[in-house]
Amino acid sequence: MAVAQLVKSVDVPYEEKERLFNEVKADLRFSDYLYGCYECGICVAVCPSARFYDFSPRRITQAVAREDVELVYEQMNGEVWECSQCFSCLVCPRKNNPGGIITIMREVAVKNGLHSAKEALEGYSRIIYKIMSTGTQVSPDMIRPDAFPDWGPNAKETADNLEVWRRAMPPDTMHTTSSSWEVDDKTLTELYLIWHLTGVLDMIKTLDESLHMILVDVMEEKLEEAGYPLS
Amino acid sequence: MPIPINIPVKGPAAPTKKGEFRRSPEDAPEDLRAMAFELEAKGEWIVQRVPEPYVELQTKYGKPKKIPLQHTWHHKSCGQCGHIPGYSTSIFWLHRKLGMEYNDPRDQTSCTAWNYYASATSNSAAQAGVAMRNFAAAYETGYFPQIHCATSYGHYKEVRSELIHHKELRDQVREILKKMGKPLVIPEEIVHYSEWVYAVRHEIAKRQVLDLSNITATVHPACHYYKLVSEDAIYDPDVYGGQRTAVVTGVVEALGAKVADYSTWFDCCGFGFRHILVQRDFTRSFAVQRKIEVMRDEANPDVTLTHDTGCVTTLDKSQFAAQAHKGVTAAIPVLSEAQFAALAMGAHPYRVCQLHWHSADYHPLLEKMGIDWRERWREFEDDVERLKKDPGAVMTWDDADAAPTQAFGAGTRPHPEHRAHGGR
């Protein structure tokens, strides 16, 4: 975590940190994800992120189990974003789910607009826009040499030939460039309804207000057209 | 005098074959499938039955799992269809060649789990809503879901568990679906495509046209296939003595290729969900140092095979930067086992397997398999030239299997964007 963030965390009242911790504990998945910790470290041994970052699923599980409000707040402001979400840590002999606990901590960080979430997801907005508006997370037209220079010359060749290469494949649902397959309009509207009714759009607002405005514009029109009440 | 300690000791396990590892059914977690039926009996939801014909395979703790052979609703993968589309086309092609009918729906969204694991800009209710909308859409068609992506498969199993254990979540999602006029439906089994490929591996082998006995493959088992809700994954005492999941490896063995082992098989690929999109230095480093280089040093394979979107993408795309940096010239081609099986059955490497979307050099592999890739590429380039001249045309399944001179004949049809939108 950056030094500046550490200093800022000192300024946050304990009550606020406790409120965030209680939000983690109140999640319905929490009781299925934490049963205690032997400190055996098996989760660390199999963790890919632990090999490349100062990151430890054991440390996070321990902090949450001990209800160490200060440490959990620090982790929510930094290291939770290093997790690869591969769930190798499910080898835990105590049946803990450290990756799942981290998912909840991340959600609370996003929902409450913590700086770490904004920093970790910098450059990610286009992905959120894609998944929420088209129903497919990535699309063929995302392969551009400037976005994927490390993928080699193949990225440029794909981008140069994209439209005709997409037509040169047999499944009739896949001749698309801006989404991974052709999604029905009605299907998309139903997806928008799910985002609308489950508070996901509010989460986006705390993360990126401009993106939120664009998504609301796209979705509200479709939902109104389909006759779904927005209140 | 020693103090008697009452430690419950289980009796000896049933005799096993030499080297075979057998888990005790007593160690199995709760039976979510049985719990789903109990909820159905209470009127909480509908359980969509696996249609016949199906094959029963063994799961991690010995319980049978029904894998439907046909009448399947293909829950496509955004990463596969978007960036490595030969993965999806090969799955469809195998179904067609084996004469097993299926539905490729437009009434399907991504599971959105890639975003959920990457950014956490979602929550359990939204994720369950997306899963159950897709399941209801499948149910409405009468077809049974077959899930192409291991992350979708793993995440949907998480969602099933959450819905079973939390009535308030079930009630919330049921209300959301009611607004759409859809019922709350859970499939009897959550089925991954690689389980289907494993179930039909001997049928594929019967139709094999290439001798693969000189091919050595390493296998990367996908984390979200066998680590998330692990009891649903397929295990077989005859594959790794039942200690690792049998899918992919069992297919390679049935096709007569050699499977070579390597020490970091349990490691993930490095995909990281968030990392592959906005922090790829981690992804590249992990994929190359913990997987590709270890495979090369310990097994020297002709190809590495896996069964998930993120794994194929990461292991394939991460090799270029390392090669450029270190001056390493030999790449390990990365394919799904569906593409490998399709090639073995004579599928066109470009029209069907779409290998031109892959980055790591696969040409030496094709040569070793006996495929004239130069001629096949020339045919594909001819196809592309014809398509360029007719912006309304698309490749059809008939085109994909046609001899070169017959391609783009009667099967050619207008581009979908020139037709009215609508489901099948």
**pLDDT over threshold 50, residue B6:** yes
pLDDT confidence bin for B322, thresholds 50/70/90: confident
pLDDT confidence bin for B234, thresholds 50/70/90: very high
pLDDT confidence bin for B416, thresholds 50/70/90: very low
CA B213/CA B222 separation, integer angstroms: 25
Reported pTM = 0.93
| Mean pLDDT confidence for B78-95 | 97
| Mean pLDDT confidence for B186-205 | 98
Cβ of A51 within 8 Å of Cβ of B130? The answer is no
Please name the residue of chain B whose CA is at the shortest distance from the CA of residue A181: B81
Q: What is the per-residue pLDDT across B336-368, written as a single tens digit (0 to 9) for each?
A: 999 999 999 999 999 999 999 999 999 999 999
In A, which residues are within 8 Å of B412 by CB distance? none
CA B44/CA B174 separation, integer angstroms: 9
Does residue B214 belong to the interface with chain A, where contact is any CB pair within 8 Å? no
Contact between residue A142 and residue A123 where contact means Cβ atoms under 8 Å apart: no
pLDDT for B414 equals: 47
The per-residue pLDDT string of chain A (231 residues; one tens digit each, 9 = 90 and over) reads 444 455 466 789 999 999 999 999 999 999 999 998 989 999 999 999 999 999 999 999 999 999 999 999 999 999 999 999 999 999 999 999 999 999 999 999 999 999 989 888 888 888 899 999 999 988 999 999 998 999 989 999 999 999 999 999 999 999 999 999 999 999 999 999 999 999 999 999 998 999 999 999 999 999 999 999 876
Cβ of B123 within 8 Å of Cβ of A120? The answer is no
Q: Closest by alpha carbon to B220, among B289, B291, B275, B284? A: B291
Q: Closest by alpha carbon to B255, among B219, B296, B291? A: B219
**pLDDT over threshold 50, residue B137:** yes
pLDDT for B411 equals: 45
Q: CA torsion B389→B391→B393→B394, rounded to 10°? A: 110
Task: Select the residue from A96, A118, A128, A151 to test the B interface by mutation, using most B Cβ atoms within 10 A.
Answer: A151
Alpha-carbon A19 to chain mean position:
21
Alpha helices by DSSP H, listed for B166-265, are: 167-180, 193-199, 201-206, 223-226, 249-254
CA–CA distances in Å: residue B10 to residues B21, B24, B242, B388: 16, 10, 21, 69
Rounded to the nearest 10 degrees, the angle between the axes of helix A14-26 and helix A69-76 is: 80
CA B208/CA B204 separation, integer angstroms: 6
pLDDT for B196 equals: 98
- Long-range pairs, A9-17, Cβ under 8 A, ≥24: A9/A73, A9/A74, A9/A77, A12/A73, A14/A69, A14/A70, A17/A69, A17/A70, A17/A72, A17/A73
Q: What is the per-residue pLDDT across B243-274, written as a single tens digit (0 to 9) for each?
A: 999 999 999 999 999 999 999 999 999 999 99
- Chain B nearest CA to A70, separation (Å): 22
**pLDDT over threshold 90, residue B139:** yes
pLDDT for A121 equals: 87
Tell me which of B321 and A50 has the higher pLDDT.
A50
pLDDT confidence bin for B129, thresholds 50/70/90: very high
- Chain A nearest CA to B203, separation (Å): 23
pLDDT for A126 equals: 86
In B, which residues are within 8 Å of A106 by CB distance? 119-120
Residue B394: exposed, middle, or buried by beta-carbon count in 10 A (0-12, 13-18, 19+)?
buried
**pLDDT over threshold 90, residue B96:** yes
pLDDT confidence bin for B26, thresholds 50/70/90: confident
Cβ count near B161 (within 10 Å): 18
pLDDT for B132 equals: 98
**CATH code that applies to domain B209-374:** 3.40.50.11810
Partner residue facing A194 (CB), from B93, B133, B274 = B133
pLDDT for B324 equals: 80
Contact between residue A80 and residue A55 where contact means Cβ atoms under 8 Å apart: no
pLDDT for B3 equals: 54
pLDDT for B2 equals: 52
Alpha-carbon B94 to chain mean position:
13
Q: Of A161-165, B10-14, B84-88, B195-199, where does mean pLDDT reach its minimum?
A: B10-14
Tell me which of B409 and B285 has the higher pLDDT.
B285
Which ranges in chain B are annotated with CATH 3.40.50.11810? Answer: 209-374
Partner residue facing A193 (CB), from B172, B179, B396 = B179
CA B226/CA B66 separation, integer angstroms: 17
pLDDT confidence bin for B19, thresholds 50/70/90: low
Fold for the domain defined by A3-120 = Fumarate Reductase Iron-sulfur Protein; Chain B, domain 2 (1.10.1060)
pLDDT for A47 equals: 98
Q: What is the per-residue pLDDT across B147-180, written as a single tens digit (0 to 9) for each?
A: 999 999 999 999 999 999 999 999 999 999 999 9
What are the beta bridge partners of residue B187? B48
pLDDT for A11 equals: 86
Which ranges in chain B are annotated with CATH 1.20.1050.140? Answer: 32-193
Cβ count near B175 (within 10 Å): 12
Q: Closest by alpha carbon to B189, among B380, B361, B33, B359? A: B33
pLDDT for B280 equals: 93
In A, which residues are within 8 Å of B270 by CB distance? 48, 84
Pairing of strands B413-414, B64-68: unpaired
Q: What is the per-residue pLDDT across B31-47, written as a single tens digit (0 to 9) for each?
A: 999 999 999 999 999 99
Cβ of B107 within 8 Å of Cβ of A186? The answer is yes
- Chain B nearest CA to A221, separation (Å): 17
| Range 11-70 of B in CB contact (< 8 A) with A | none
What are the beta bridge partners of residue B306? B220, B336
Percentage of chain B modeled with pLDDT above 90: 85
CA B321/CA B338 separation, integer angstroms: 27
**CATH code that applies to domain B32-193:** 1.20.1050.140
For chain B, the residue count is 424
Rounded to the nearest 10 degrees, the angle between the axes of helix A200-207 and helix A125-134 is: 160
- Chain A nearest CA to B1, separation (Å): 31
Please name the residue of chain A whose CA is at the shortest distance from the CA of residue B104: A173
pLDDT for A122 equals: 83
pLDDT for A6 equals: 52
CA atoms within 13 A on the CB side of B297: 9
Mean predicted lDDT score pLDDT of chain B = 91
pLDDT confidence bin for B13, thresholds 50/70/90: very low
Three-state SS annotation for A96-157: CCHHHHHHHHHHHHHHCCCHHHHHHCCCCHHHHHHHHHHCCCCCHHHCCCCCCHHHCHHHHH
Dihedrals phi, psi of A67, to nearest 5 degrees:
55, 45
Cβ of A203 within 8 Å of Cβ of B352? The answer is no
Does residue B291 belong to the interface with chain A, where contact is any CB pair within 8 Å? no
pLDDT for B417 equals: 41
pLDDT for B412 equals: 47
In A, which residues are within 8 Å of B119 by CB distance? 106, 110, 121, 124, 127-128
| Mean pLDDT confidence for B275-288 | 94
**pLDDT over threshold 80, residue B15:** no
Domain boundaries, chain A: 3-120, 125-225
- What is the complex's ipTM, to 2 decimals? 0.95
pLDDT for A5 equals: 55
Please name the residue of chain B whose CA is at the shortest distance from the CA of residue A188: B109
CA A29/CA B168 separation, integer angstroms: 12
pLDDT for B4 equals: 54
Task: Select the residue from B121, B271, B293 to test the A interface by mutation, using most A Cβ atoms within 10 A.
Answer: B121
Cβ of A49 within 8 Å of Cβ of B280? The answer is no
